[in-house]
Amino acid sequence: MANIIIHQNKITSREDLLEVCPFNALEWEGDALVTNAACKMCKLCVKKGPEGVFEFEEDEIVVVDKSLWKGIAVYVDHDNGNIHPVTHELIGKAREMAAKIDHPVYGVFMGSGITKKADELLAYGVDEIFVYDHEALTHFRIEPYTAVMEDFINRHKPSIVLVGGTTIGRSLAPRAAARFRTGLTADCTILDVQENTDLDQIRPAFGGNIMAHIQTPAHRPQFATVRYKIFSAPVCVDPTGVVTVCDVEEKMLESRIRVLEVAEKQISESIEDAEVIVVAGRGVKQEKDMAMVRRLADLLGGRVAATRPLIEAGWAEPKTQIGLSGRTVKPKLIITCGVSGSVQFAAGMNNSDLIMAIDNDPSASIFDIAHIGIRGDLYDILPDLIEKLEATEKNVCTADLTA
C-alpha cells in the first residue's frame, strides 16, 4: 500500500502540525505523530508540511477491497435478440467458477425489444439477468452500450465480467475496462478463479508461440474476452434465476455516432463456423462420390469442404476450399478423405481440435498433422461408417434445444 512516512526526528515544533491535513487524518499517539484511517493519500502534507517531515512512499499498488465485488457477469452478445452462442459458453464457464467462490452469475442484456428473450437464458443457469431494453439501443453504438455497462457495474459491482470475443465484444470490453481503469485480458483460452476471487487468465501470445498466465490482482472488475467455441455450452438446469428490467436513463443514450444504414450480409453458413468438417481430396475419384462425403458430413451435423484440385474441377463451391488460398478453419472435428496434406492445405486447418485423416498412402504428409491417422481406402471405410451412423440414434444436445 502507498504510505505516508512521518520522520519524527525532523519535527521541530508540534504546533499547528495537525492543521496541515484538511481531512483530520493526523493525530498524536503519545509523542509520535501518526496518520489515521481518514488519510486520503492526497499528499497535501508532503507539499504543505514542514520540510522533510512527511514523505510519500508509493511503491506498492493500492488493492481494492475485493469483498465489495461479488458476482460473475456475462455480457449477452446478440443480434436483434438472437443470442450468440458464445454467451452460453461464457455462462457455462461463469457457473463453474461461481460455484468455487460462491458468487452469483449475472447476465447483462442490452438492446431493443429483447426483454422476452431474457427468459431463455435462465435455462443456462444464470441467477439474475439485467435487461436494459430501449429503442435507442437497437443498433450497437459504443457510447450508449458502454454507459449501460457502466450503470450495471456501478450498481452490482461484479468481480468478473466476461465478454464474447465478437466484433461487438472486442469493441465494448476495452472501452468499459478503461472507464473503470481496470485490466482486460483478451482472447483467453483458459479461465479459472482463485479463492480470493482473482481471475486466472491464460491466453496465447505471439501467435501462439507462448502462453501467458495473467491476473488482475489489485483491480475490480476483472474483464476478460473469450472467443466463440473455446468453452462448451453448459447443461441446462431448471431455471431458478430471475429477470430484472432496469431503467435506461436518457443520459446513457447520448452518442456522437449516427447509424445511417444496416445492410444484411449474405450469410450462407460458412465452413469457418462449422464445428465438424469432412474434407474431400483427390482420393475421391468421381464427382458422384461426393455424395458419400456429403452424407457423412450430414450425419455428423457438419459441412463438406474440399482441397483445391476438387474446387478447380468444379466438384465443390470455391468458398468451401480450405487452405492458404482458401479458408482457414478450426473446427472441433475435421475428417479428411483422400487428402495428401500439402503445406498449403494444412495451413488452413492444422489448428483444428481433432484431425482424423483417412488416406491409403502411409507416407502422405497428412499423417504428420493428423491426431488419428487412418491408413485405409476411403471407399472401403466410408460406406461402412455411414451405415453405422445411420443406425445410431442421434443424441441431441439438450442445452441448445431448450433455448
Partner 1 sequence: MIRITTCIKQVPGTTKVEVDEKTGVLKRDGIESKMNPYDLYALETALKIKEERETELTVVSMGPPQAEDVIREAYMMGADKGLLLSDRKFAGADVLSTAYTLSQGIAAEELPDLIICGKQTTDGDTAQVGPEIAEFLNIPHVANVTCIREVKADGIVVDMDLPNAVETVEAAFPCLITVEKGIHQPRLPSFRLKMATRDREVPVLSMKDFTDQDETRYGLKGSPTQVVRIFPPETDREKETWQGTGPELAGRIHEKLVAEKFI
Ligand X SMILES: Cc1cc2nc3c(=O)[nH]c(=O)nc-3n(C[C@H](O)[C@H](O)[C@H](O)COP(=O)(O)OP(=O)(O)OC[C@H]3O[C@@H](n4cnc5c(N)ncnc54)[C@H](O)[C@@H]3O)c2cc1C
Instruction: Report which secondary-structure segment, H or E, holds 111.
Output: strand 105-111
- Residue 79: φ, ψ to 5°: -130, 110
Q: Looking only at Cα atoms, what is the longest distance across the chain?
A: 100
d(CA 223, CA 159): 9
d(CA 317, CA 326): 11
Q: Does 35 sit near ligand X (CB under 6 A)? A: no
Nearer to ligand X, 255 or 360 (CB): 360
State the binding partner of 111 from partner 1, ligand X, none, CB within 5 to 8 A by kind.
none
Q: Does 101 sit near ligand X (CB under 6 A)? A: no
Q: By C-alpha distance, which of 76, 63, 249 is closest to 151?
A: 249
Nearer to partner 1, 66 or 170 (CB): 170
State the binding partner of 309 from ligand X, partner 1, none, CB within 5 to 8 A by kind.
ligand X
CB contact at 8 A, 3 and 34 = no
Q: CA angle, 172 as apex, 125 and 113 as ends, to 5°? A: 60
The half-sphere exposure of 249 on its side-chain side, counting CA atoms within 13 A, is 8
Q: Does 325 sit near ligand X (CB under 6 A)? A: yes
CB of 131 to ligand X, least distance (A): 45
- Among the residue ranges 63-71, 112-120, 222-230, 307-315, the one whose residues contact ligand X (CB under 6 A): 307-315
Q: By C-alpha distance, which of 192, 149, 188 is closest to 168?
A: 149
C-alpha distances in angstroms, 75 versus 34, 173, 373? Answer: 46, 9, 40
State the binding partner of 251 from partner 1, ligand X, none, CB within 5 to 8 A by kind.
none
State the binding partner of 319 from ligand X, partner 1, none, CB within 5 to 8 A by kind.
none
Nearer to ligand X, 42 or 324 (CB): 324
Q: Does 283 sit near ligand X (CB under 6 A)? A: yes
State the binding partner of 58 from partner 1, ligand X, none, CB within 5 to 8 A by kind.
partner 1
- Residue of 255, 328, 350, 360 interacting with ligand X (CB under 6 A): 360
Nearer to ligand X, 75 or 367 (CB): 367
Match 483467453 to its residue by C-alpha cell.
188
d(CA 26, CA 146): 40
Q: Does 350 sit near ligand X (CB under 6 A)? A: no
- Residue of 20, 53, 308, 382 interacting with ligand X (CB under 6 A): 308
Instruction: Report which secondary-structure segment, H or E, holds 382.
Output: helix 378-391
- Spatial neighbors of 215 by CB under 8 A, at least 6 apart, are 198, 199, 200, 201
- Residue of 105, 278, 378, 399 interacting with ligand X (CB under 6 A): 378
CB of 83 to ligand X, least distance (A): 34
Q: Does 328 sit near ligand X (CB under 6 A)? A: no
Which stretches of the chain bind ligand X, using CB under 6 A? 281-283, 307-309, 321-326, 338-340, 342, 344-345, 348, 358-361, 364, 377-379
